[in-house]
Amino acid sequence: MSRLFLRSPEAVAGTIILALLVAMALAAPWLFPRDPLAIAGPAMLPPFQDWTIPLGTDRLGRDVLSGLFHGARTSLAVGLAAAATSIVVGVLVGTIAGFAGGWVDEVLMRVTDAFQTVPGFLLALAFVSVAGPSLGVVVVAIALGAWTQPARITRAEVLSIRERDYVAGARVIGMHPAEIAFREVLPNALPPVLALSSVIVAAAVLTEAALSFLGLGDPNRVTWGGMIAEGRAVLRSAPFLSIVPGIALVLTVLGVYLVGEGAVEASAVKRGNA
Protein backbone atom coordinates (compact mmCIF):
# COMPACT_ATOMS: atom_id res chain seq x y z
CA MET A 1 0.00 0.00 0.00
CA SER A 2 2.81 2.45 0.90
CA ARG A 3 4.55 1.79 -2.43
CA LEU A 4 1.35 2.46 -4.34
CA PHE A 5 0.85 5.63 -2.31
CA LEU A 6 4.34 6.94 -3.05
CA ARG A 7 3.90 6.32 -6.78
CA SER A 8 1.27 9.05 -6.89
CA PRO A 9 2.73 12.54 -7.58
CA GLU A 10 -0.22 14.10 -5.74
CA ALA A 11 0.44 11.97 -2.66
CA VAL A 12 4.16 12.83 -2.64
CA ALA A 13 3.49 16.56 -3.03
CA GLY A 14 0.83 16.48 -0.31
CA THR A 15 3.08 14.52 2.03
CA ILE A 16 5.92 17.02 1.60
CA ILE A 17 3.58 19.95 2.32
CA LEU A 18 2.11 18.30 5.40
CA ALA A 19 5.54 17.20 6.64
CA LEU A 20 6.73 20.82 6.48
CA LEU A 21 3.62 22.02 8.33
CA VAL A 22 4.02 19.36 11.02
CA ALA A 23 7.70 20.31 11.36
CA MET A 24 6.64 23.97 11.80
CA ALA A 25 4.12 23.01 14.47
CA LEU A 26 6.60 20.84 16.37
CA ALA A 27 9.47 23.32 16.09
CA ALA A 28 7.43 26.37 17.16
CA PRO A 29 8.18 26.13 20.93
CA TRP A 30 11.92 25.77 20.29
CA LEU A 31 12.36 28.31 17.49
CA PHE A 32 9.99 30.84 19.06
CA PRO A 33 9.89 30.14 22.81
CA ARG A 34 8.39 33.54 23.61
CA ASP A 35 4.66 34.10 23.74
CA PRO A 36 3.61 34.70 20.09
CA LEU A 37 1.08 37.25 21.37
CA ALA A 38 3.82 39.32 23.04
CA ILE A 39 5.22 42.49 21.45
CA ALA A 40 8.44 41.70 19.59
CA GLY A 41 9.30 45.00 17.90
CA PRO A 42 7.93 48.21 16.43
CA ALA A 43 4.43 48.00 15.01
CA MET A 44 3.88 47.48 11.29
CA LEU A 45 7.51 46.60 10.56
CA PRO A 46 7.68 45.45 6.89
CA PRO A 47 9.18 42.03 6.03
CA PHE A 48 12.96 41.64 5.62
CA GLN A 49 13.80 44.90 7.37
CA ASP A 50 15.01 43.26 10.58
CA TRP A 51 16.39 39.72 10.29
CA THR A 52 15.51 38.95 13.89
CA ILE A 53 11.90 39.43 12.77
CA PRO A 54 12.09 38.26 9.12
CA LEU A 55 8.40 38.61 8.21
CA GLY A 56 7.87 41.84 10.12
CA THR A 57 5.29 42.68 12.77
CA ASP A 58 1.58 43.33 12.89
CA ARG A 59 -0.30 46.42 14.12
CA LEU A 60 0.57 45.62 17.75
CA GLY A 61 4.22 44.77 17.10
CA ARG A 62 3.82 40.98 17.29
CA ASP A 63 6.17 38.73 15.30
CA VAL A 64 4.38 37.50 12.15
CA LEU A 65 6.72 34.52 11.64
CA SER A 66 6.26 33.39 15.24
CA GLY A 67 2.48 33.65 14.80
CA LEU A 68 2.72 31.63 11.59
CA PHE A 69 4.56 28.77 13.33
CA HIS A 70 2.34 28.75 16.41
CA GLY A 71 -0.76 29.07 14.21
CA ALA A 72 0.24 25.83 12.49
CA ARG A 73 -0.06 24.07 15.86
CA THR A 74 -3.59 25.37 16.34
CA SER A 75 -4.79 24.56 12.82
CA LEU A 76 -3.39 21.02 12.78
CA ALA A 77 -4.58 20.30 16.32
CA VAL A 78 -8.13 21.47 15.59
CA GLY A 79 -8.26 19.75 12.20
CA LEU A 80 -7.08 16.37 13.47
CA ALA A 81 -9.09 16.47 16.72
CA ALA A 82 -12.31 17.51 14.97
CA ALA A 83 -11.86 14.88 12.26
CA ALA A 84 -11.15 12.14 14.82
CA THR A 85 -14.16 13.14 16.94
CA SER A 86 -16.56 13.32 14.00
CA ILE A 87 -15.37 10.01 12.53
CA VAL A 88 -15.64 8.19 15.87
CA VAL A 89 -19.16 9.52 16.49
CA GLY A 90 -20.24 8.92 12.89
CA VAL A 91 -18.86 5.38 12.81
CA LEU A 92 -20.59 4.48 16.08
CA VAL A 93 -23.94 5.90 14.95
CA GLY A 94 -23.69 4.35 11.47
CA THR A 95 -22.68 0.93 12.77
CA ILE A 96 -25.48 0.78 15.35
CA ALA A 97 -28.07 2.05 12.86
CA GLY A 98 -27.03 -0.28 10.05
CA PHE A 99 -26.60 -3.41 12.13
CA ALA A 100 -29.59 -3.01 14.45
CA GLY A 101 -32.06 -1.88 11.79
CA GLY A 102 -35.74 -1.35 12.61
CA TRP A 103 -36.75 1.50 14.88
CA VAL A 104 -33.17 2.06 16.08
CA ASP A 105 -32.07 2.72 12.51
CA GLU A 106 -35.07 4.96 11.93
CA VAL A 107 -34.46 7.10 15.02
CA LEU A 108 -30.73 7.50 14.44
CA MET A 109 -31.19 8.40 10.79
CA ARG A 110 -33.83 11.00 11.62
CA VAL A 111 -31.39 12.57 14.11
CA THR A 112 -28.76 12.52 11.38
CA ASP A 113 -31.19 14.20 8.97
CA ALA A 114 -31.91 16.89 11.57
CA PHE A 115 -28.21 17.74 11.87
CA GLN A 116 -27.76 17.71 8.09
CA THR A 117 -30.49 20.28 7.55
CA VAL A 118 -28.32 22.91 9.29
CA PRO A 119 -25.14 23.98 7.45
CA GLY A 120 -22.08 22.86 9.39
CA PHE A 121 -20.56 26.34 9.65
CA LEU A 122 -23.77 27.89 10.97
CA LEU A 123 -24.05 25.10 13.55
CA ALA A 124 -20.46 25.68 14.65
CA LEU A 125 -21.04 29.44 14.75
CA ALA A 126 -24.12 29.08 16.94
CA PHE A 127 -22.47 26.55 19.28
CA VAL A 128 -19.34 28.65 19.83
CA SER A 129 -21.44 31.79 20.33
CA VAL A 130 -23.39 30.06 23.09
CA ALA A 131 -20.62 27.99 24.73
CA GLY A 132 -17.86 30.58 24.44
CA PRO A 133 -14.64 30.50 22.36
CA SER A 134 -12.02 27.95 23.40
CA LEU A 135 -10.06 25.28 21.58
CA GLY A 136 -12.14 22.41 22.96
CA VAL A 137 -15.42 24.15 22.15
CA VAL A 138 -14.26 24.84 18.59
CA VAL A 139 -13.36 21.16 18.11
CA VAL A 140 -16.77 20.01 19.36
CA ALA A 141 -18.54 22.68 17.30
CA ILE A 142 -16.85 21.53 14.08
CA ALA A 143 -17.47 17.86 14.87
CA LEU A 144 -21.19 18.56 15.40
CA GLY A 145 -21.54 19.46 11.74
CA ALA A 146 -19.16 16.84 10.35
CA TRP A 147 -20.21 13.50 11.89
CA THR A 148 -23.24 12.96 9.63
CA GLN A 149 -21.30 12.00 6.49
CA PRO A 150 -19.24 9.26 8.19
CA ALA A 151 -22.47 8.01 9.82
CA ARG A 152 -24.28 7.64 6.49
CA ILE A 153 -21.34 6.02 4.72
CA THR A 154 -20.78 3.58 7.61
CA ARG A 155 -24.47 2.68 7.70
CA ALA A 156 -24.53 1.97 3.95
CA GLU A 157 -21.46 -0.28 4.23
CA VAL A 158 -22.82 -2.11 7.29
CA LEU A 159 -26.18 -2.74 5.58
CA SER A 160 -24.29 -4.48 2.78
CA ILE A 161 -21.83 -6.41 4.96
CA ARG A 162 -24.29 -7.69 7.57
CA GLU A 163 -25.90 -10.03 5.00
CA ARG A 164 -22.66 -11.84 4.14
CA ASP A 165 -21.99 -15.44 4.99
CA TYR A 166 -19.31 -14.89 7.62
CA VAL A 167 -21.68 -12.63 9.58
CA ALA A 168 -24.36 -15.33 9.47
CA GLY A 169 -21.74 -17.83 10.64
CA ALA A 170 -20.86 -15.59 13.58
CA ARG A 171 -24.53 -15.51 14.59
CA VAL A 172 -24.77 -19.30 14.36
CA ILE A 173 -21.85 -19.87 16.74
CA GLY A 174 -23.51 -17.56 19.30
CA MET A 175 -21.44 -14.38 19.15
CA HIS A 176 -23.03 -11.37 20.83
CA PRO A 177 -24.59 -8.91 18.34
CA ALA A 178 -22.38 -6.05 19.57
CA GLU A 179 -19.29 -8.23 19.12
CA ILE A 180 -20.37 -9.14 15.59
CA ALA A 181 -21.05 -5.49 14.72
CA PHE A 182 -17.82 -4.00 16.03
CA ARG A 183 -15.42 -6.92 15.58
CA GLU A 184 -16.58 -8.58 12.37
CA VAL A 185 -18.55 -5.97 10.42
CA LEU A 186 -17.02 -2.59 11.32
CA PRO A 187 -13.39 -3.29 10.22
CA ASN A 188 -14.63 -4.08 6.71
CA ALA A 189 -16.82 -0.95 6.62
CA LEU A 190 -14.06 1.49 7.62
CA PRO A 191 -12.02 2.02 4.38
CA PRO A 192 -14.58 4.29 2.63
CA VAL A 193 -14.98 6.29 5.86
CA LEU A 194 -11.23 6.73 6.31
CA ALA A 195 -10.98 7.93 2.70
CA LEU A 196 -13.34 10.74 3.73
CA SER A 197 -11.11 11.82 6.62
CA SER A 198 -8.94 14.12 4.48
CA VAL A 199 -12.01 16.08 3.40
CA ILE A 200 -13.12 16.40 7.04
CA VAL A 201 -9.67 17.59 8.18
CA ALA A 202 -9.50 20.20 5.40
CA ALA A 203 -13.02 21.42 6.17
CA ALA A 204 -12.20 21.59 9.90
CA VAL A 205 -9.10 23.71 9.27
CA LEU A 206 -11.11 26.12 7.12
CA THR A 207 -13.98 26.27 9.63
CA GLU A 208 -11.58 27.02 12.50
CA ALA A 209 -9.97 29.77 10.43
CA ALA A 210 -13.38 31.24 9.59
CA LEU A 211 -14.44 31.23 13.25
CA SER A 212 -11.17 32.89 14.28
CA PHE A 213 -11.59 35.45 11.50
CA LEU A 214 -14.96 36.35 13.02
CA GLY A 215 -13.43 36.65 16.49
CA LEU A 216 -14.81 33.34 17.78
CA GLY A 217 -11.54 31.43 18.03
CA ASP A 218 -9.61 30.75 21.22
CA PRO A 219 -8.40 34.22 22.33
CA ASN A 220 -5.39 32.70 24.10
CA ARG A 221 -3.97 31.10 20.94
CA VAL A 222 -2.58 32.46 17.71
CA THR A 223 -4.62 31.31 14.72
CA TRP A 224 -4.21 31.92 11.02
CA GLY A 225 -7.79 33.12 10.75
CA GLY A 226 -7.15 35.64 13.51
CA MET A 227 -3.98 36.84 11.76
CA ILE A 228 -5.90 37.34 8.51
CA ALA A 229 -8.56 39.31 10.37
CA GLU A 230 -5.86 41.41 12.08
CA GLY A 231 -4.41 42.38 8.70
CA ARG A 232 -7.79 43.22 7.17
CA ALA A 233 -7.82 46.73 8.63
CA VAL A 234 -4.50 47.60 6.96
CA LEU A 235 -4.88 45.52 3.82
CA ARG A 236 -3.82 48.34 1.48
CA SER A 237 -0.81 49.54 3.44
CA ALA A 238 0.41 46.15 4.77
CA PRO A 239 -1.11 43.33 2.70
CA PHE A 240 1.54 40.87 3.92
CA LEU A 241 -0.27 40.62 7.27
CA SER A 242 -3.16 38.80 5.59
CA ILE A 243 -1.35 37.25 2.63
CA VAL A 244 1.23 35.29 4.66
CA PRO A 245 -1.26 33.37 6.89
CA GLY A 246 -3.62 33.07 3.92
CA ILE A 247 -0.94 31.24 1.91
CA ALA A 248 -0.25 28.96 4.90
CA LEU A 249 -3.95 28.14 5.13
CA VAL A 250 -4.21 27.37 1.40
CA LEU A 251 -1.13 25.13 1.52
CA THR A 252 -2.50 23.21 4.51
CA VAL A 253 -5.82 22.48 2.82
CA LEU A 254 -4.04 21.64 -0.46
CA GLY A 255 -1.65 19.25 1.30
CA VAL A 256 -4.46 17.43 3.11
CA TYR A 257 -6.46 17.15 -0.11
CA LEU A 258 -3.51 15.79 -2.11
CA VAL A 259 -2.69 13.19 0.56
CA GLY A 260 -6.34 12.11 0.58
CA GLU A 261 -6.39 11.80 -3.21
CA GLY A 262 -3.21 9.74 -3.14
CA ALA A 263 -4.63 7.41 -0.50
CA VAL A 264 -7.84 6.91 -2.48
CA GLU A 265 -5.91 6.16 -5.69
CA ALA A 266 -3.61 3.70 -3.89
CA SER A 267 -6.52 1.84 -2.30
CA ALA A 268 -8.32 1.68 -5.66
CA VAL A 269 -5.26 0.22 -7.36
CA LYS A 270 -4.81 -2.28 -4.53
CA ARG A 271 -8.44 -3.44 -4.80
CA GLY A 272 -8.04 -3.74 -8.57
CA ASN A 273 -4.91 -5.87 -8.22
CA ALA A 274 -6.63 -8.02 -5.62
**Angle 231-233-239 (CA atoms, 0-180°, nearest 5)?**
45
Give the C-alpha separation, 232 to 226, whole Å.
Answer: 10
Give the C-alpha separation, 232 to 239, whole Å.
Answer: 8
Identify whether the C-beta of residue 76 lies closer than 8 Å to the C-beta of residue 21: yes
192-249 pLDDT, tens digit per residue, is 888 788 889 999 999 999 999 999 888 888 999 999 998 998 888 889 999 999 999 9
Taken in order of first residue, the domains within the chain and their CATH numbers are 2-273 (1.10.3720.10)
Answering whether pTM is above 0.85, one says yes
CA dihedral 128, 131, 135, 140 (to 10 degrees): -70
Identify whether the C-beta of residue 93 lies closer than 8 Å to the C-beta of residue 76: no
Give the C-alpha separation, 94 to 105, whole Å.
Answer: 9
Instruction: Write out the chain's pLDDT in tens, 274 residues.
Output: 566 666 778 888 888 999 999 999 999 999 999 889 899 889 898 998 888 899 999 998 999 999 999 999 998 899 899 999 999 999 999 999 999 988 999 999 999 999 999 898 999 999 999 998 888 999 999 999 899 999 999 999 999 898 888 888 888 888 888 888 888 898 888 888 887 888 899 999 999 999 999 998 888 889 999 999 989 988 888 899 999 999 999 999 999 988 888 777 766 555 555 4
